Structure 1
Amino acid sequence: MLGPLDFGIVEKDELDRDIDKLRNILQDSIKELEKSGDGEQLIKDVKELLLAETPSERTPEFMEKFIEKVSSLSNESALRISRTLSHCLNLANVAEQTHLIRSVKNLESEEEGVLKFSCEDIFKQLIEAGVEPDRIYKALTEQSIELVLTAHPTQMMRRTLITKNNHIGEALEGLSNKSQSSRDRKDWEDQLRREISGSWLTDEIRRNKPTPLEEAQGGFSILEQNLWRTLPKFMKVLDRTCFKYTGKNLPLGFTNIKFGSWMGGDRDGNDNVNSKVTKQVSYFSRWIAASLFYKEIDALLFELSMVRMTPELAEAALKAQERRNTNRPKPVLTLYKEFGGGSGIPEREGYRILLAEMRDKMLLTKKHYEDLIGGQTPPPDHDDDDIYHTAKQVLDPLLLCYDSLISVGAIDVANGRLIDVIRQLNCFGLTLSKLDIRQESTRHSEVLDAITNYLGIGSYLSWNEKERQEFLIRELESKRPLVPKDLPCNARVQEVLDTFRMAAELPAESLGAYVISMCQNPSDILAVELLQKESGNKFPQRVAPLFEMIDDLERAPQTMEQLYSIKWYKDRINGSQEIMLGYSDSSKDSGRLTSSWSLYKAQEILTKLSDKHGVKLTLFHGRGGTIGRGGAPTYLAIQSQPGGSINGRLRVTEQGEMITAHYGQPGVAFRSIEVYTTATLQQTLLPPPPPSDHWREIMDELSSVSGKKYRSIVRGNENFVRYFRASTPERELSHLNIGSRPQKRNVSGGIESLRAIPWIFAFTQTRLILPAWLGVAEALEAAKEKGYTNDLKEMYKSWPYFQTTIDLIEMVLMKADPLIAARYNDLLVPFELQSLGKEMIGLLNKTVSSILSLTNHSTLQQDNKLLQHFIAIRRSYLDPLNYIQAEVLRRLRSNHVEAQNPILVDILIISINGLAAGLRNTG
């Protein structure tokens, strides 16, 4: 979660002026677009429902009259008012994001200005801290960060509206340029009005559930439109800063950032993702990559017109020319001419001759994947040499061009577009983003059980862990096949087998990790390795166990210790291991505080264990956007990890709405990858010291008390599930169509079967946000009773992990609202359960008091004036939307109203969208 902290300071007056400007344009648009004066009345109705920003001004008498107004709204009026409030909140977000980007540019343009967490800032800090330049250079060039875009369904806004918001932000940014002409200003003003009017006339509701392929297309659009250009720009800045402080340029083509994806590969609990979908997504990503590289090579072809070259390049060009002139029946020359090329390149222009052949071949590669996407098989005379399969095939001739240009003195030319393309190849490869496959561990066990039963050697599912491991290792070491081609099995087993066979058939470099969710034992990892072997995969995926529940996290070291002790496995991983840590389910399991501490300890132990066995460990952090799912401002999230656990290697998920928030605009995308780079570099070279044994004892106590309190309510109170479903819009979330994945793993189950996203999402909507703080007050109170008050304050002051944990809880509490949560309780919860709701609201107030006492703050986030300002701007629009939503839920659930009343459903969806935008979090 990228926050204001990651950007620096913004001028509040300018922000307020821009928000007012956008809202005034919206009002004007509504007045013009709504028929016969209805627009004027709508604006009046909205203004009458706006609430004071300061809760203390909302007296009981005032709120009583306000609630009467909301209750008396017709469905039609509630719909129109909700739309207006939602649009206002979206426009506020656009203005804020634009100003955050502008604050970065303004500070960078100042002669003495150094942006916090920028490359300049962190390199300077490292040098001042006494870190030798050679150590900085080594740490940077060994750095590996992979950002994995997931299809987790938390992006509420339609892509159409996201695009319009980007255009609004672009116009705002254009208007901030003081040096432009009045004509240009008028163009930007017109664009603002056009896009805001267009947004008002656009249906903000996603009417159909997206397919996995459509989810993937959304992720690819971010990569193609923003990150493709941003990455080489960032690498130039990083290279200049590196040279300034270490005296060395980055290695040729080096990129510390790569991108992965789960879109079209995450089949955990989602039967809509199958082997055919994964294959299509993989082909689609290669088609986009080929299209992008075709354009880049085409541009290079016309840019590199030089005639001076090395003998090596001249020889390569001569061979390329000979290949072009052969009579082999290839469509290269035909396609080249058809797409605007020609054969009249002078022989002296060796760069162009070489690049012309590359461009033709990339065009054929693009066409090849177009055919595969369309279901066409390659023609009988198809020659694999006609297309590119690996990034190295493209990289080698580009490096030859680069070396030649450097040799003849054209250094500036070499370090222009050419080095950008080389870096894009090293970052994106020919796949744009490598696709992970994720599947739940029991699905693999089912496959192996079907195999062992068919072969008559027993039931795999009935074997204990020792028996399973012995069988798996024996088969992994065996040279004979195990799985018969005609294995009789059910559809579930067949789909898993089809997935492994499909993965074996995909081009090399298409796939990333194979992630095993709900991983509990060594056999869960070995099972995947065996199924990869049996599928005939010549380039098997690395296997990453995902430890997510508290018990799994505690068993993780034992599981990995056993694996590292198996010779076959140690040889297989070749000194490198990836382990994924689940933030969402561990938090849902035992609460935020217990989850956080369990994850911290697991990272420490797994890091030491891997070091002991000589294994280079990469921890894959499965963070969500909200605090309750591990979300945090990027810099704080990285700095608060245990020292030594990152060590230059980081893999992290970017989920749902956070993909747009972090990478939806080029300026934000640049800042996001910059902060990932600098925070990782600083954490690697200046890691935080380990906590003292006494602090660990206190954290163990806090975790124990917090977890017990959380579970006593969420799992121990027999009425809690009923209360949760009555007090929140959890039951109605199925109307949202925000993802291809089902809302529950098990449709008939309770809290344990509910996915972490709707669990957090529903409580966030009601402003109770219970999963992020439940159990914290009791933990802090118990610690104080044991005389740990001064210790807690010292921990908060001096321990990055503890400070970040408390600050994030405080941030969540700032977004919570007990008065609004009480309205949902009064209006929606059956009378016999309302006392439970009042207890939860009482615990919320108690938690606020406990946190303020620990931080010595008089108000929540007292020192974060920027965040306070952001939230204050939203309150007058957010809060009435909450009251309307509660009323709409009452009407939807009323015995006197048709449950699927389309107007009420639309109001509910719009209110959910607006609240998600205003709170800047969904799941």
Structure 2
Amino acid sequence: MPDIGPFDFGSVEPDELDKDTERLRHILLESVKVLEKDGDRLINLVESILLKDQPSERDPVSMEQYKQKISSLSNADALSISRILSQCLNLANVAEQHHLVRSVLKANLAGEDLMYSCEHTLKSLIDEGISPDTIYNAICEQSIELVLTAHPTQMMRRTLIAKNNAIGNALSELEKQLTDYERFEWEEELNREVKATWLTDEIRRKKPTPEEEAQGGWSILEQNLWHTLPRFFRILDRTVEKYTGRSLPLGFTNIRFGSWCGGDRDGNDNVTADVTRQVCYFSRWIAATLFYREIDALLFELSMVKKTDSMADAALAANERRQSNKPKSILTLYKEFREGIPEKEAYRIVLAEVRDKMLLTKKKYEDLISGQTPCPDDVCYETAEEVIAPLKMCYDSLVAIGGKAIADGRLLDIIRRLNCFGLNLSKLDIRQESSRHSETLDAITTYLGIGSYNAWSEEQRVEFLLKELESKRPLIPVDFPCNPRVQEVINTFRMAAELPKDSLGAYVISMCQKPSDILAVELLQKVVGNKHPQRVVPLFEMIDDLVRAPTTMESLFNIPWYKKRINGSQEIMLGYSDSAKDAGRLCSAWSLYKAQEILTKLSEKHGVKCNLFHGRGGTVGRGGSPTYLAIQSQPGGSINGRLRVTEQGEMITAHYGQPGMALRTIEVYTTATLKQTLLPPPAPLDKWREIMDFLADVSSKKYRSVVRDDPNFVRYFRASTPERELTHLNIGSRPAKRNVLNPTIESLRAIPWIFSFTQTRLILPAWLGVCDAFKEAINKGWQQDLVDMYKNWPFFSTTVDLIEMVLMKTDPLIALRYNDLLVPFELQSKGKELIDLLNETVNSVLSLTSHETLQQENKLLQHFVSIRRAYMDPINYIQAEILRRLRSQHVDAMDPILIDILIITINGIAAVVNSVPAFQWYSLVTNLLLHVSEVVIKFKTLLLLPDLSDNLL
């Protein structure tokens, strides 16, 4: 079999990761040989188009011949080659994720000091002079909520994600001590899963529904996080007791989960009130099912008869209720068992009642989902507190009789799960665009004959809203006639008022610009009679919105009604993706930093606890960055033990798709938040602020001059990237554009904007404007100041390092190929200008960081990037050719094979650029440079683009 993988290790010796990667690649190629009738020819063909030389070593003559070879490929061969290369990249990612978990395990077994672990962080805080009491209180008061969203960046089907997990599990089992027979079985399992992956259609053939997007989040919660959280709490508890002398409280949880899947209706008409209702019902049904299983298992475990008097009284009362009430039909199967419980087994008697009521709760949501009449509310659970009360009684009784070790088993795990997940796994946020609320109020005021709400000034709107908020009369007539858009908004608020308590989290207002936008939602919640209104969260997205945010919030804090309504706590969401699309990454990062500072101080002035909700994406261009560094680089005092952040698209699988990864992710969120709270970074010097203002201004002007002011830019963008073809991907229920009839930058959503440039390896949005900003700053004599900022200011150094990581994944030659092949001749000069600017940006960043090459200190990182390029670069050249062929055909007669090739190449490129391979995490481990002892890896040199699993080491 020919060697299709150029493994030139240079000074880096092959290690276990390389062996796993080679093993999986070998199985794949053998599978192709067996499963495809011309498998040998295909493998030889793949070998012939691999680019084994690095970009700097590729001479123009050979590259011209290479392009001709790609152009001569038949559609059928291009499809097979793309599939093989894409699978090689996917299996490399699987091997690296497995290696990551293995490395952490080895570090723990060897007693290594694992960076950002609970042990490492608490020890370092003690060494810094932080008192044990301060640490304990900070942990107990910590509140972190991770919000799973359905943003369309997860290219891979859930079926293939599951197969990847199975491959990783087989690799793990093969490293254990096994008998010959057991080893044979697991090797066969590994072969089966790789072969099954090859035979599985990697293309999503239909667009997912909002309900299906929600299912993806539930599967992560049910299969991984459900088991991970109790384990994490035990680790944290032991560490806290070791360093503070006290155990965590029984009701402790610092981690909770939210969701936008099925609730985010901003620009997505597929998300209706009925959809949101069904998603909430399904979520509570899954939670009831999981808790029923756990309580049923616990019932059999707690067979002890020794008990406290209060426990005996509770069991007696439960028995009396059982005897006085006729068993419900759903409990008939359990009647004999319950009556057979000896009266002295008080724990079982109490738990049997809890279990049966949980079963009725499960049945209630089954009925609601299927449209049948549900069980009465009084025989079901509505809140987690109702379940916790009898469980806590069992816990206290066991502790009192000397059975704390028993109580701290499954019983404690269930109590902690109830505190973490509640009875709905994750609270569902609702998000809607502000103009939809204004449109609804305008329809109401116009119908009532009191004027047009939309025509009123801001002062008139606020006056009207406050008057109605304090009024007791109904605002919406029973027979109110309105258009479907308005009716859907009203239906959503009515649905929210009818859902069980604690089903919903925040109501997020996108494109929020003024106080009336927030008050409008408060009024609409009131007029539908919502007894448990959601907290209303303004989302400030664009640069101008971020600048106006403090004025907007100050106006609200000065309103007595509003101040009373928020009860001392205000959540504010900050948009990273849209602000970066608006003015570029450098300006966006600084605007967000300043907004956090000002909003934090403003809230303190008004005696309000400010909770900032970070709407980060995965890639750097959408605000993404390695989690620990992102948290540490926030302004001091802006987190203060509270963090709410989105986990978007492919990040959900990357961070939580495997139990070991999920555990590490949760741990890093906890330790980073704790350290940022107790040891916040100092405020930047005034001179640094002045320079950052200048850099942001210059970079923003350059960015906007290219993206917004150039009348030909949109044409160039749509021609040079696969943006027009993204509709074939079926990766999300939401449309890619806000207005498909008006193809402007404003109409394009931030995700496809970044995604499209990532595919061509230009990655323009993440670096455009940076070179001009640095150049102008140096011209003003600030070169040494920039160096000082990079060395001593976490915010600036993280921002620059992330840009350097982005640049490492760019490729000017590949970007030029898209330009030459796809862009009209009259616009090709625009692409060449941008590619020249990319090269200038690389030089300017290297000058600032004093590096000769990008990521020069991380030889291990460079080694693995070179391996990936051998597979990914040919995919790029094939994609450019396929786009040319597609665009030469009539739109109604596109060859379906070409569309399949395009989707597969997009998948393959995304598998690298929209994921962070495991090798980048070596830099987060102290004393864990496996087989590369001569390499000194700075903690800042994490591989760019998304922060997929960056947490795990």
Alpha-carbon distance between aligned partners in 2 of 1:865 and 1:289, rounded to the nearest angstrom: 46
Which letter does structure 2 place at the counterpart of 1:552?
D
Alpha-carbon distance between aligned partners in 2 of 1:727 and 1:508, rounded to the nearest angstrom: 50
Deviation of 1:313 (Å):
1.1
Q: How many residues align?
A: 905
Which letter does structure 2 place at the counterpart of 1:815?
K
Alpha-carbon distance between aligned partners in 2 of 1:639 and 1:882, rounded to the nearest angstrom: 36
Alpha-carbon distance between aligned partners in 2 of 1:868 and 1:270, rounded to the nearest angstrom: 41
Which letter does structure 2 place at the counterpart of 1:704?
D
Give the structure 2 partner of residue 132 of structure 1. 131
Partner of 1:422, secondary structure, is: helix
Q: Write out per-residue CA displacement over residues 566-603 of structure 1, whole angstroms, 9 at most, x where no aligned residue.
A: 00000000000000000000000000000000000000
Counterparts in 2 of 1:611 and 1:216: CA distance versus 1, 3 Å: same
**Mapped pair 1:774 → 2:768:** yes
Which letter does structure 2 place at the counterpart of 1:373?
I
Deviation of 1:334 (Å):
1.0
* 2:300 counterpart (299, 302, 318): 302
Equivalent residues in 2 for 1:343-362 (5 A)? Answer: 343-362=339-358
Give the structure 2 partner of residue 145 of structure 1. 144
* 2:911 counterpart (914, 917, 921): 917
Partner of 1:184, secondary structure, is: helix
Which letter does structure 1 place at the counterpart of 2:347?
Y
Deviation of 1:692 (Å):
0.7
Which letter does structure 2 place at the counterpart of 1:346?
P
**Mapped pair 1:47 → 2:47:** yes
Give the conservation status (yes or no) of the 8 Å contact 1:643–1:689: yes
Deviation of 1:16 (Å):
0.8
Alpha-carbon distance between aligned partners in 2 of 1:567 and 1:67, rounded to the nearest angstrom: 69
Alpha-carbon distance between aligned partners in 2 of 1:288 and 1:383, rounded to the nearest angstrom: 19
**Mapped pair 1:199 → 2:179:** no
Counterparts in 2 of 1:920 and 1:182: CA distance versus 1, 3 Å: farther
Give the structure 1 partner of residue 316 of structure 2. 318
Give the structure 2 partner of residue 686 of structure 1. 679
Give the structure 2 partner of residue 87 of structure 1. 87
* 1:336 counterpart (319, 334, 337): 334
Which letter does structure 2 place at the counterpart of 1:575?
G
Give the structure 2 partner of residue 839 of structure 1. 833
Q: Write out per-residue CA displacement over residues 131-179 of structure 1, whole angstroms, 9 at most, x where no aligned residue.
A: 11111111111000000000111100000000000000111111222x2
Give the structure 1 partner of residue 153 of structure 2. 154
Counterparts in 2 of 1:630 and 1:53: CA distance versus 1, 3 Å: farther
Deviation of 1:919 (Å):
1.6
Which letter does structure 2 place at the counterpart of 1:156?
M
Counterparts in 2 of 1:867 and 1:253: CA distance versus 1, 3 Å: farther
Partner of 1:346, secondary structure, is: coil
Deviation of 1:854 (Å):
0.3
Give the structure 2 partner of residue 366 of structure 1. 362
Give the conservation status (yes or no) of the 8 Å contact 1:335–1:360: no
Alpha-carbon distance between aligned partners in 1 of 2:368 and 2:908, rounded to the nearest angstrom: 41
Deviation of 1:17 (Å):
0.8
Q: Write out per-residue CA displacement over residues 369-392 of structure 1, whole angstroms, 9 at most, x where no aligned residue.
A: 0010011123xxx43221110000
* 1:714 counterpart (678, 693, 707): 707
Give the conservation status (yes or no) of the 8 Å contact 1:892–1:898: no
Which letter does structure 1 place at the counterpart of 2:624?
G
Deviation of 1:341 (Å):
4.3
Structure 1: state its 5+ residue gaps.
1-9
Alpha-carbon distance between aligned partners in 2 of 1:55 and 1:903, rounded to the nearest angstrom: 30
**Mapped pair 1:741 → 2:734:** yes
Equivalent residues in 2 for 1:234-633 (5 A)? Answer: 234-328=232-326, 330-331=328-329, 333-337=331-335, 341-378=337-374, 382-633=375-626
Give the conservation status (yes or no) of the 8 Å contact 1:19–1:95: yes
Give the conservation status (yes or no) of the 8 Å contact 2:338–2:352: no
CA RMSD, 1 decimal? 1.3
Give the structure 1 partner of residue 797 of structure 2. 803
Which letter does structure 2 place at the counterpart of 1:282?
C
Alpha-carbon distance between aligned partners in 2 of 1:537 and 1:169, rounded to the nearest angstrom: 47
Give the conservation status (yes or no) of the 8 Å contact 1:53–1:875: no
Counterparts in 2 of 1:899 and 1:752: CA distance versus 1, 3 Å: farther
Give the structure 2 partner of residue 17 of structure 1. 19
Partner of 2:476, secondary structure, is: coil
Give the conservation status (yes or no) of the 8 Å contact 1:11–1:103: no
Q: Write out per-residue CA displacement over residues 686-708 of structure 1, whole angstroms, 9 at most, x where no aligned residue.
A: 00000011000000000000000
Which letter does structure 2 place at the counterpart of 1:365?
T
Alpha-carbon distance between aligned partners in 2 of 1:781 and 1:56, rounded to the nearest angstrom: 26
Alpha-carbon distance between aligned partners in 1 of 2:278 and 2:133, rounded to the nearest angstrom: 45
Give the conservation status (yes or no) of the 8 Å contact 1:550–1:598: yes
Alpha-carbon distance between aligned partners in 1 of 2:312 and 2:909, rounded to the nearest angstrom: 63
Partner of 1:376, secondary structure, is: coil
Give the conservation status (yes or no) of the 8 Å contact 2:399–2:407: yes
Alpha-carbon distance between aligned partners in 1 of 2:859 and 2:456, rounded to the nearest angstrom: 59
**Mapped pair 1:229 → 2:222:** no
Give the structure 1 partner of residue 724 of structure 2. 731
Which letter does structure 1 place at the counterpart of 2:298?
L
Give the structure 2 partner of residue 167 of structure 1. 166
Q: Write out per-residue CA displacement over residues 812-847 of structure 1, whole angstroms, 9 at most, x where no aligned residue.
A: 100000000000000000000000000010010010
Give the structure 2 partner of residue 7 of structure 1. none
* 1:659 counterpart (652, 657, 660): 652
Give the conservation status (yes or no) of the 8 Å contact 2:338–2:349: no
Partner of 2:15, secondary structure, is: helix
Counterparts in 2 of 1:538 and 1:812: CA distance versus 1, 3 Å: same
Q: Write out per-residue CA displacement over residues 314-340 of structure 1, whole angstroms, 9 at most, x where no aligned residue.
A: 111111111111244633541525xx9
**Mapped pair 1:109 → 2:109:** yes
Alpha-carbon distance between aligned partners in 2 of 1:870 and 1:290, rounded to the nearest angstrom: 45
Deviation of 1:342 (Å):
4.3
Alpha-carbon distance between aligned partners in 1 of 2:493 and 2:653, rounded to the nearest angstrom: 32
Alpha-carbon distance between aligned partners in 2 of 1:322 and 1:863, rounded to the nearest angstrom: 72
Alpha-carbon distance between aligned partners in 2 of 1:896 and 1:101, rounded to the nearest angstrom: 49
Alpha-carbon distance between aligned partners in 1 of 2:479 and 2:163, rounded to the nearest angstrom: 52
Shifted more, 48-57 versus 638-647: the winner is: 48-57
Q: Write out per-residue CA displacement over residues 103-136 of structure 1, whole angstroms, 9 at most, x where no aligned residue.
A: 111001113x111111011111111111111111
Which letter does structure 1 place at the counterpart of 2:39?
G
Question: Normalising by the residue count of structure 2, what TM-score does the alignment of the two structures yield?
Answer: 0.94
Partner of 1:273, secondary structure, is: coil
Counterparts in 2 of 1:426 and 1:11: CA distance versus 1, 3 Å: farther
Alpha-carbon distance between aligned partners in 1 of 2:809 and 2:786, rounded to the nearest angstrom: 24
Give the structure 2 partner of residue 763 of structure 1. 757
**Mapped pair 1:754 → 2:753:** no
Equivalent residues in 2 for 1:887-906 (5 A)? Answer: 887-895=881-889, 899-906=893-900
Give the structure 1 partner of residue 933 of structure 2. none
Alpha-carbon distance between aligned partners in 2 of 1:232 and 1:56, rounded to the nearest angstrom: 50
Give the conservation status (yes or no) of the 8 Å contact 1:52–1:58: no
Structure 2: state its 5+ residue gaps.
1-11, 916-944, 947-953
Give the conservation status (yes or no) of the 8 Å contact 1:648–1:684: yes
Question: Normalising by the residue count of structure 1, what TM-score does the alignment of the two structures yield?
Answer: 0.97
Give the conservation status (yes or no) of the 8 Å contact 1:893–1:899: no
Give the structure 2 partner of residue 214 of structure 1. 212
Alpha-carbon distance between aligned partners in 1 of 2:709 and 2:183, rounded to the nearest angstrom: 62
Percent identity reads: 72
Deviation of 1:187 (Å):
1.8
Give the conservation status (yes or no) of the 8 Å contact 2:152–2:731: yes
Deviation of 1:895 (Å):
4.6
Deviation of 1:428 (Å):
0.2
Deviation of 1:873 (Å):
1.9
Alpha-carbon distance between aligned partners in 2 of 1:862 and 1:323, rounded to the nearest angstrom: 72
Which letter does structure 2 place at the counterpart of 1:118?
S
Which letter does structure 1 place at the counterpart of 2:180?
S
Give the conservation status (yes or no) of the 8 Å contact 1:618–1:650: yes
Alpha-carbon distance between aligned partners in 2 of 1:796 and 1:896, rounded to the nearest angstrom: 52
Alpha-carbon distance between aligned partners in 2 of 1:327 and 1:920, rounded to the nearest angstrom: 58
Alpha-carbon distance between aligned partners in 1 of 2:459 and 2:893, rounded to the nearest angstrom: 53
Alpha-carbon distance between aligned partners in 2 of 1:214 and 1:536, rounded to the nearest angstrom: 31
**Mapped pair 1:854 → 2:817:** no
